[in-house]
A and B are shown apart, each in its own frame.
Chain A
Amino acid sequence: MNNILEIKNLSKHFDDVTAVKNVDFAVEEGGFFSILGSSGCGKTTLLRIIAGFQQESEGDVIIRGQSMKGIPPEKRPVNIVFQNLALFPMMNVRENVAFGLKRQKLRKGDINYKVNEMLERVGLHGYENKKVTDLSGGQRQRVAIARSLVMNPSILLLDEPLGALDRKLREHMKVELKLLQKEIGTTFVYITHDQSEALVMSDKVAVMHDGQFEQIDTPRNLYKNPKTSFVAGFVGDSNRFELQSTEAGSMTTKGGWTLPQPDLNGSAKELYIRPEALILNPANNLNDVDRFEVTIKTILFDGSSTKLSTMVSGSNEELLISLPQNAQFEGIEEGHTLNVGIHHNDLKCF
């Protein structure tokens, strides 16, 4: 696979802050690449450098093997969907989508054909003459995406495009956007602070923290094999424990819970365990599983993501455990004790 976008050792310094630090990555043609990070970590800055609205301090942006140094935004083969959409309020839906094509001085018939096709594709057929200010949030979203996509960019940059939508619509648009990307095959570089968006839609996700990339990986690997403690804590839910001592074969947390040490990493300071990795009433024939007992403090009911807040017996550690909502665990109540197991591979130490 060839890389359509390469970022080489990119940094951006503002007066007093360094917003992007030595970022290095490549995006494959046709891929869906997400950059996941909390607010203020430099995501927008990075995207604006790729689009050409901001000048990098060091490093280079390479698109289709060509350095973008000195090339202004309007000449770059990328288009951007802004965090606040930036639709032109004085134009209707058709005029918004046609704006870029008109700048290319295409023939009127061609413009109409492309605009109609794109509006059809994003499900806005019949809305051509509506004012953009009269549309719902989700529809405005689609206009913004159509306006950029109709330019047939090599790369589409999206800056938290679903951030302003309510939860239900966001869930819906997440799937729709992924399908749209698959269908048209344009490379997407997608920024978000919402891990679920990043995990559901992307082929590759980069976790960004404080201007740096912590890990670039597939969604499954980020979740299963986080490389740094930040990623382990940021992606998905985790129980975090500070380690008091580690020696060959065993480790003890600050709260006095002793577990086997699987990978003999003597310098580990933290331990992460996902609530859903814990096995309730583990069968006797499971191998490589550490077994212990917990006492249930409270049940945190939240539908499919209901959790048990428990204390690990014989220690001072709290542990959150996912509780599947099925008949097997119907009778569980506060104060009960439970047998719990954890597979050695699910103990993540850093």
Chain B
Amino acid sequence: MRNNKHSFNITFYLLIVPVLIWLIFMIVIPHAELLISSFQVEDDNGDMVFSFGNYIEFFTQKIYWLTFVKTAAYSIGVTLLAFIIAFPIAFYLTKVTSKKNAAFLMLLLLIPLWVGELVTVYGWMVLLGDHGVINHFLMTIGIINEPINMLYTNFSMVVGLLYMSMLFMVIPVMSTLQSMDDSLIEAACDLGASKWDIFTKIIIPYSMPGITSGAIIVFMLVIGDYLAPNLLGGKNSLWFTEQIYNDFLQTFNWNEGAAFGFLLLMLSSGIIWLALKLSGQKLEKVGA
């Protein structure tokens, strides 16, 4: 018995040690480092001293917190759009089409992941540019005379963000829908529910855990994305990650960058927490 317990302990430590190493070296230490440096500024002698200066800078400079608010608002909007587009796709793939078709369509959906974000962003630039495919086509068939300005706008940025994140909504929603028995829909129908009732009272509530985890992933990907806002967005579609990038790599103000990084972390965690509260979902259920 004692022997048994002993060997259990060894297995337990073997399993827990890599997790702890990962947590400490990849998560705790870098973030602690960031947190400390975010409260430091260089004084006149070039020494590092404790200060709230980096955070005060954020709240006093309008451009910073305006970008901050805009990033948050757009991220929420893109997440909503991703849900609106992804849900019918997930429903079609799991409940409507045959298994064989679904597997093939799923492969098509995965293509953007294979080629990477940079390539898909360039793809959109080719499509949306003033001399791009869409404008060229519209002008050839004579619907427009002047090219429509689509690239380097908020529109092109949202398209790019949606495209790279949508799949992460489709997959968790598909997995909850797959576990849903079709007889639930039939039972609701038998009890006199209309199509709309079935959708809003049965299908959506049932897939809520999948929707929530999809929304969290999409939201995090979008709010932390750099490529799409930078390459597809215009001069005025400044994204908060671009501010952080500027601090770290252009003005070399690492301390302010660290403070902004922390603010972004707080913002995204705060919004997710609020969304979970509002939708009545529990994090442990969403993760399952």
> What is the CA–CA distance of A91 and B191 in the complex, to the nearest angstrom?
15
> What is the CA–CA distance of A82 and B186 in the complex, to the nearest angstrom?
9
Q: A103–B184 contact, CB under 8 A? A: no
How near does chain A come to B19, taking the closest CB pair, in angstroms? 31
A230 within 8 Å of B by Cβ?
Answer: no
- Known A-B contacts A84-B183, A86-B183, A88-B202; the reply to A74 vs B190 at CB < 8 A is yes
| CB closest residue in chain B, given A79 | B190
Q: B206–A100 contact, CB under 8 A? A: no
Q: B191–A99 contact, CB under 8 A? A: yes
> What is the CA–CA distance of A334 and B201 in the complex, to the nearest angstrom?
66
Q: B189–A74 contact, CB under 8 A? A: yes
Q: A82–B191 contact, CB under 8 A? A: no
Q: B184–A151 contact, CB under 8 A? A: no
Interface string of A269-290 (1 = CB under 8 A from B): 0000000000000000000000
B208 within 8 Å of A by Cβ?
Answer: yes
A40 within 8 Å of B by Cβ?
Answer: no
Q: A74–B186 contact, CB under 8 A? A: no
Q: A103–B181 contact, CB under 8 A? A: no
User: Among residues 43 to 58 in chain A, which have CB atoms less than 8 Å away from a CB atom of chain B?
Assistant: 51, 53
> What is the CA–CA distance of A82 and B191 in the complex, to the nearest angstrom?
12
Q: A51–B208 contact, CB under 8 A? A: no
Find chain B residues with CB under 8 A from A83 CB.
Answer: 183
Q: B193–A74 contact, CB under 8 A? A: yes
| CB closest residue in chain A, given B179 | A89
Find chain B residues with CB under 8 A from A151 CB.
Answer: 191-192
Find chain A residues with CB under 8 A from B202 CB.
Answer: 88
A243 within 8 Å of B by Cβ?
Answer: no
A136 within 8 Å of B by Cβ?
Answer: no
> What is the CA–CA distance of A286 and B247 in the complex, to the nearest angstrom?
110
User: Among residues 27 to 74 in chain A, which have CB atoms less than 8 Å away from a CB atom of chain B?
Assistant: 51, 53, 72-74
Most chain A CB atoms below 10 A, which of B183, B186, B192, B193: B192
Interchain CB contact (< 8 A) of A103 among B197, B205, B206: B197
Find chain A residues with CB under 8 A from B231 CB.
Answer: none
User: Among residues 167 to 199 in chain B, which have CB atoms less than 8 Å away from a CB atom of chain A?
Assistant: 181, 183-184, 186-194, 197
How near does chain B come to A18, taking the closest CB pair, in angstroms? 23
A147 within 8 Å of B by Cβ?
Answer: yes
Q: A84–B188 contact, CB under 8 A? A: no
| CB closest residue in chain A, given B207 | A90
Other A-B pairs beyond A53-B189, A72-B189, A103-B194, 17, CB < 8 Å: A73-B190, A74-B192, A79-B191, A80-B186, A82-B186, A84-B183, A86-B181, A90-B205, A90-B206, A90-B208, A99-B193, A100-B191, A100-B192, A103-B192, A103-B197, A147-B191, A148-B190
Query: What are 8 sample pairs from A and B whose C-beta atoms fall under 8 A apart?
Result: A53-B189, A53-B190, A73-B186, A79-B191, A82-B183, A83-B183, A90-B208, A91-B205
A residues neighboring B (CB under 8 Å): 51, 53, 72-74, 79-80, 82-84, 86-91, 99-100, 103-104, 147-148, 151
